[in-house]
Amino acid sequence: MSLFLPRPSAPSALTPREHARLDNAPHACTPGAVERRFGVLGCRVQDGFLRTVMRTGPWMDGSDGHQAGALAVLLDHSMAETIYNAAGPGRWSLTTRLAYDIVAPAPWRTAALYATSWVPRSDRSGGFAQCEVTDERGELVAVGSTWVQNVAASGPLHPVADAASEDTGGSGAANFTDHLGARLTVEGEDTRAELPRAEPWNNGYGTLHGGVWAGLAELAGSAALAHHGRDLRTATVSVSYLRRTVRPSVAAVARPAHLGQSFGVVEVTGTDNSGRQCVSATVTGRHHAR
């Protein structure tokens, strides 16, 4: 079954009853081990859109209540899946850019998040996809977009942990940093989020999952804003993937470019343990009245 979706009319928010039907509908795709550890249950095609469900939990939380980092895996999977299935056999789909805006700042009081994705443009070379994320009440949480490039497969898919054995719905971790197994440190103006063991978060291509990279970049960016005493919540994340990441450890280093009272901008550089730059990202935080 092809999941290529031509550009439809604007998606409508699902009602709680429609959410329940979607949760119980047959799956159109099966998420991998990484997605399952992020609570992604699967994808269904409905009304010309790809709908993806993700359970939430304390493992998503930052120490300051932020949840934006974990959202990246849901967005990356939901949007890229539509283009991957249009690529045809012998092709791999690689995310080259992932961007998302947080419309409703965390914390999100919902048991699940619902991603609705569609593809304005897609062909054998790749494509562009967009997405909206809502909570269980149908309220808009975030919007995203991605560019994906299809390339000739360089070999068979790498074995990953059996998805069926993974704990769907996240882990028992107390927060997002612990869930990733990341370490946060501050070195002068730089805030560093390091992932000492990247292999558990590899996708079937044997590379670090693009959503995990984006989540690590957001973690470093939001920590940098907090370190500088700014009460700013993540509003926008934009990640460009410069090369595939196959090394056993990676790090995202964030340095503020602007720190204002209403918003701040942080530039994030992601490198592997050889020192090669793999990711370039920008994280913007904005002030929200409480």
pLDDT (tens digit, 9 = 90+) per residue, 21-71? 555 555 567 788 999 999 998 888 877 788 999 999 989 987 665 668 889
The verdict on residue 143 lying in a domain is yes
- Of 100, 45, 94, 31, nearest to 70 by C-alpha is 100
- Based on the domain organization, do 128 and 238 belong to the same domain? no
Residues 233 and 284 reside in one and the same domain: yes
Are 22 and 84 in a shared domain? yes
pLDDT at position 94: 87
- Assess if residue 141 is contained within a domain: yes
Nearest-angstrom CA–CA distance, 188 and 203:
34
Same domain (yes/no): 150, 19: yes
Please check whether residue 173 lies inside any domain of the structure.
no
- Structural domain includes residue 93: yes
Range from 5-9, 51-55, 107-111, 265-269 carrying the lowest mean pLDDT? 5-9
Q: Is the preceding omega at residue 256 within 30 degrees of 0, hence cis?
A: no
> For residues 126 and 3, which has the higher predicted lDDT (pLDDT)?
126
pLDDT at 179: 94
Is residue 13 predicted with pLDDT exceeding 80? no
Over residues 211-264, the pLDDT tens digits come to 999 999 999 999 999 998 878 889 999 999 999 888 899 999 999 999 998 999
Mean pLDDT of 9-28: 57
Query: What is the pTM for the complete model shown?
Result: 0.87
Whole-number percent of the chain with pLDDT over 90: 53
Rounded to an integer, the average pLDDT of 155-160 is: 57
pLDDT digits (tens, 9 = 90+) for 102-151: 999 888 889 999 999 998 888 878 899 999 999 999 999 999 999 999 88
Q: How many domains does the chain have?
A: 2
Indicate if 144 and 97 belong to the same structural domain. yes
Residue 94 belongs to what domain range?
1-154
Q: Do 149 and 251 share a structural domain? A: no
Domain of 85: which CATH number? 3.10.129.10
Contact 251, 180 (CB under 8 A): no
pLDDT for res 3: 40
